[in-house]
Structures are given as C-alpha cells and as structure tokens.
Structure 1
Amino acid sequence: MLRTVRAALLATLCFAAPAFAQDVSLMDGMVPREGVNPVIPAGKFTKAPPWKIGFSIWGFGNTWMIQMAQEAEYAASQNPNIQEFIVTNADSNPTKQIADIEDLVAQGVDALVVAPISLTAVSPVIEKATAAGIPVVVHSTAVDTDKYTVELQGDPIHFGKVMGDFIVQQLNGKGRIWVLRGQAGVSEDQLRYDGLVEALKGTDIVISSEQHGDWSYDKGKQVCEALALSDPNPDGIWSSGAAMSHACIEVFQELGQPIPPISGEGNNGFFGVWKAANATSMAAVFPPEQGAAAVRAAVALLEGKPLYHRYVGRPAPILQERRDSFYRPDLNDNLWFPTSLPEEKLKEIFKK
C-alpha cells in the first residue's frame, strides 16, 4: 500500500514538473538568440484543439520559398489537432499580404505564421494581430518590430562566414578571390558579405573582383564569363548562392580551366554539378524546414509550452565528405537541403 502511494505521488510530481523553453526542439540548428530574449510563459496561449492556423507567405518567387511552404504544409498535415491550415500567397505584393493577414484574423485563426514581404510593410498588421491576443510566429524574413510572439530566422552573417572560413582554409590564408554577391540593396546580401569580411580578418586574402550576380544562374554566368576575361585565374571564389556557384563551375569547364575552390549552398542542382565536376566546394545551409519549424512553434504555443521570443538558425555546413549523403541524382534540381519531408513526399514533389 505504501509503495502504491509513493508511486502515485511520484507520478503526480512528474506531471506537475515545470516545462522549460530549452526543452522545446523546433529544428536542428535553431537555437535561442543571444541578448535580451524573454521567455513566453507556459500556458499563455493554451487552447484546446482542434485548431485553425493561418500561414501567410510573401510569395513563391523561387524554389526555396516553394519548398519552405511545402514543408510547413506537410508538418501541419501530420498533426491531427490542426483542423484547418490556411495558406495565403501575397504574390510579392505588400498590400495583398496585409489584406491576407487581416482576412486570416477575421476568420478567427488560433495562431498566425508569417513570412513577411519586407522589413517594414507588414509590421503594423503583425502588431495588430499580436495585440488581439493571437500568437504570431514570424519566420524566414524579418520585420522592424518585436511585437510578435516568436521569431525564427536564419543567420546570414553565419552563412557568409562559414563560406569565408572554407575559402580561408583552402587557400591557407593567402591569395586572390572573386566575390559573387546576391542582390544589391537586399539586407541578406549585405549580411552574408559581412560574414565573409569577418572570416577574412587577419588573413592575406585579397578580393580582386566583387560583383552582384543576383543569386541567379543567368546573371551569375554572365558575371563569371566577364571576370574570366578581366580578372583571370582567381585562387578561390566566394559565391553567396547555389545558382551562381553552379554557373561559375560551368564557365570554368567550358573554358577548359581548373576550377578554383568555390563556396556553394545546399541545393540538389548545385550538388550534381559539384560532384560531376569534382570541384572543391562546400554548402552553407539555410534550411527550408524553417516553414515546418514555424508550424511547430505555433503548435507548441497552443499546447501551452514555453518558448523563447527569438530564435536563430546556425546549422553546420555540408562539407564534401557529407555531400553524397544528401545528393539525390534521382530527383530534380529544385530540392534544397536539409529537408524534413519524408521519402514519399520527396519523390512526389521533386521527381524528374
């Protein structure tokens, strides 16, 4: 009898144990951001299921954004407590995203997940939704307000630095490099570049040419072809995105020249040309699984779990020795790594 009482007391204590924000896992590499970062208290947004969750995305302008939304939809489909998962696409129009969010609020969503179109445009409507008591998860792109519930972001400085660290290591800290940047005026481009600058500190590596390739295959190829004439034979290439890296490798192949060490990104198309060319490269990682992680954060809030206010993703890069464990020659070029999608969904979505 005493043993039974003790067992019952232990069970009660276990169930009554407090929940801690650090115990909630959203995605590999997603960690609480440094600095002032309050915890959303346990139970603040608890709501009995079934739930209706709104998912507002700024647009499907590239394959990464498409996959990010697919990962979010799959994560939602696997949770029986989510009765409705409403996806809206703003088609790169700030006015439409504002209207989309207002409509989702009017539909009575229990939580709102937003990939904002710009730093400023949708901040007021996000603040309005938060003030109405709706838990709002902002992810993938930033806003200029902190009046949301939870934020999940990548770390572009980390992204650029791991690329730069690779170039430094390959060149033993000295040499001449090309720098292929993304789109001028976009904060992601500047912050990735800032990461490169950090990696180059204290080295004898010189940036001999710096051009914007807009993260585009076509523009990247034009830039690399021009640089091959104006600034030939670099010791290395820091490229801010997979499509530009892909294009540059092909330029060197077409010219019949050795391919210098070049940074890359976690994209299946790039992995294919990297392997076929036997190039010296690596892949920085900006996982589209952020969409699924944002859904998990919304669910955690509705379940009454505590979360940090701000998270940042700093996953490890994919180096050459791990490339083939990710590369899928049976699937098309649009797949991004790492992914949380199961095998059957990968074959359905990315079949050649």
Structure 2
Amino acid sequence: MESFFRTLRLAGLAAALVLVWSSVSAKEITLAYVANSMQFPYDVALGKGFQDACKELGCKAIVLDARASVERQGNAIDDLIAQKVDGIAMIAVDSVVARTWVDRAAQNNIPFVAAAVQIGDPNKVPIRQVYGKLTALVTTDDVIAGERAGELAAKILPQDHVAKIGVIEGAPGFAVVRQRTEGFRKALEKAGIKYQIVASQPTDWTPAKGESVCQNILTANSDLDLIYSQADDMALGCARALRSSGSKAKLVATAGGSRLGNEAIRSGGIDGSVCTRPQLVGRLTAQALYDAATGKNTKKAQFITYDTPVITKENLSVCPAEW
C-alpha cells in the first residue's frame, strides 16, 4: 500500500513538472524593433523581414518608429525595458548615445541586437568589433561593400589621367559613412587606379538631398569622372542631377538592391551598385533575438552578415529588390 501511495505522489510530481514546463514553453516571446525612421524604405523593409521571421518563429513583433529622433528612440527603449519585452533590436539614430540603452537592457537581462548600425563611436569602431553587451550586430559588412563598389569603379574609370571622384556620403554620425569610403579607397588603390576625391559631402540619405549635393559637386567640378554614392536612394537623386547637367560622369553606389535603384541600373541611370538585403537583415535580427530569448544561443557580441555581390545591368537577377 505504501508503495502505491509513493507511486501516486511521484506521478503527481511528474504531472506538476509537466504543467510548469508547459506554462514556460507556452510563454509568448515578444520581440521589438525600433527603427531610425520609417520614412526610409530601408527601415521599412528591415521591419518587414523582422515581422515575417517573428511570425514564422511563433513570437509577437512590436515595431516602433523613432522618426530620426534620439529622444524618441531613447523613450521607446525605456518603455520596452519597463514592459519587460524578451528582446530589443534597433537601427540606432545615434550610435554613441545608444550604448547607454544597450547597457540598461543588459542590466535587465534583455537581449539586444543592433541592426544595420554599429554601437559605439563611428569614427573609432572597426566594422567587426561588436559592443560587448550586445547579443549581436546584424549588418552588411560595409567595408566589403565599399570595396566591391571600388572594384566596379576601377573597371570603368579612365586610365589616361588622374580620375576625379565625388563622394555622396550618408548622414553624419553613422559608422557606415567611414566604412564604405574606406573600402572604396582600398579597392581603387589595390587596382592601381590613380585618383583624387575632389569633393565628399554628407546627405540625409534621401534622393532629394542626393540630387542637391550632386548638383553642387558637378557645378564645382565639371570635369568629374565618377560619383560614388553611399546608398541607392541618394544615387537616384544624383542620376537626375547628372541628366540635367549633361555630365558624362559615371555613377556607382552601395546599399543597392532597392526597386527604384534596380530600375535605374536597368535603364542606365546608375552604372552599378552593391546588393543590400534589409529584409534578410531583419530576419537574421529576429532569429538572433529569439535564440537569445529562448536560451538556444546566449553568446554575446556576435557579428552576423551575408554576401553582397556587385549588381549591374547584366546580373540584376542576383539581387531581387527587397525595398
């Protein structure tokens, strides 16, 4: 009889453990993505990839728009930490200020992934150096992307004189601005190209600003050989400036693979770009957060990237538009 009751007690304990395990496993995982600005097609595409992956993984996705405001982004992060979400991802508006948000999340044991933009001083942090309290940095390797744009430029630049190049930068404060130029220069020097960067001006990542900056550079340098745009969006505006000025300068870009950018390559407005896949970045970001939140992969400071081929009119199929 005693053994019978012992068996019942053990069975009850096992049932209780099953119930506890079931309640833990059934807990809905909530992951949040805080965009820099949803006015940027890139941020929207990354958010779509994030939401799609979260749906497939069985978690809940929250998407917030900082509208390019450091204050709004900081408030959003504070709110998410207070809500005890299971993971946070963001495209940092200010990569230096963002360190404090990552630190705060770490103090609350909330996994944090930096998407597309590094955390830390953009003038000092190497591309593959990931801030130690991050779960991961999920991004394009922008030095490599710059190199591939430089390799493309080397094939179309003149060889009979020192080539004059203008650079259309992204917005100040982003590490990618330095990294994409660094890779671009490295490729030109490796190819033995004699060149001079006669102008390099920042933008706000938009086609309108790209057009304005290109017009300024072309006005001051009518004999320009090539313009290097650090993203498709500015290249679209720059292509308009080239047409209106009648300039014969070539135009190459990075952060390519947008629908309008691919169409511009097809029509000859842009000579080539480097494939960027924001939806894939969003998917990889959600996966990294989910794995950290569920204990499948609790490593810190992971660097997660993907391949970025050059795209021209001849091989557009290698980079289907994601944004």
C-alpha distance in 1 between matches for 2:198 and 2:73: 41
Kindly tell me the number of residue pairs found equivalent between the two proteins: 282
**2:77 alignment partner in structure 1:** 101
| Identical pairs, percent | 19
What is the alpha-carbon distance in structure 1 between the residues aligned to residue 92 and residue 216 of structure 2?
35
The residue type equivalent to 2:282 in the other structure is G
- CA distance, structure 1, for counterparts of residue 150 and residue 209 of structure 2: 22
- Tell me how far 1:296 sits from its aligned partner: 0.8
Whole-Å separation in 1 of the counterparts to 2:217 and 2:37: 33
CA distance in 1 between partners of 2:140 and 2:152 (Å): 19
Alignment of 1:97-136 (within 5 A): 97-136=73-112
Q: Confirm or deny that 1:51 pairs with 2:28.
A: yes
Contact 1:161/1:198 (8 A) holds in 2: yes
1:289 is paired with a residue whose SS is helix
1:260 — aligned with what? 250
From the CA coordinates, give the structure whose radius of gyration is larger.
2
Counting only pairs closer than 5 Å after superposition, residues 42-191 of structure 1 correspond to structure 2 as 48-57=25-34, 58-80=36-58, 82=59, 84-144=60-120, 145-171=131-157, 175-191=163-179
Q: Secondary structure, in 3 states, of the residue corresponding to 2:208?
A: helix
3-state SS of 1:207 partner: strand
What is the SS of the residue equivalent to 2:205? coil
What does the per-residue CA deviation read over 1:232-269, in whole Å, with 9 as the maximum and x for residues that have no partner? 24332222121232223333334455452533522111
User: Which residue does 1:285 correspond to in 2?
Assistant: 276
1:159-206: CA deviations, max 9, x gaps?
222111211122276633222222345432222222222222243122
1:317 matched to 2:309: yes
Q: What residue identity is the alignment partner of 1:69? A: G
The TM-score normalised by the length of structure 2 is 0.75
**Cα deviation, residue 273, structure 1:** 2.1
Query: Which amino acid is the alignment partner of residue 217 of structure 1?
Result: P
**Contact 2:134/2:300 (<8 A) preserved:** no
Greater relative contact order structure (CA < 8 Å, 6+ sep): 1
Task: Give the match's secondary structure for 1:88.
Answer: strand
What secondary structure does 2:210 align onto?
A: helix
Deviation at 1:327, TM superposition (A): 5.7
- After TM superposition, the score normalised by the length of structure 1 is 0.69
SS in 1 for 2:286: helix
Gaps of 5+ in 2: 1-23, 121-130
Query: Unpaired segments of 5 or more residues in structure 1?
Result: 1-46, 329-334, 337-352
Q: Give the letter aligned to residue 167 of structure 1.
A: A
C-alpha change, 1:205 and 1:165, in structure 2 (3 Å) is same
Residue 202 of structure 2: aligned partner: 212
Q: Is the 8 A contact 2:53 2:286 kept in 1?
A: yes
Higher helix share: 2
Partners of 2:206 and 2:309 lie apart in 1 by 21
2:170–2:205 contact (8 Å) kept in structure 1: yes
C-alpha separation between the residues in 1 aligned to 2:203 and 2:81?
39
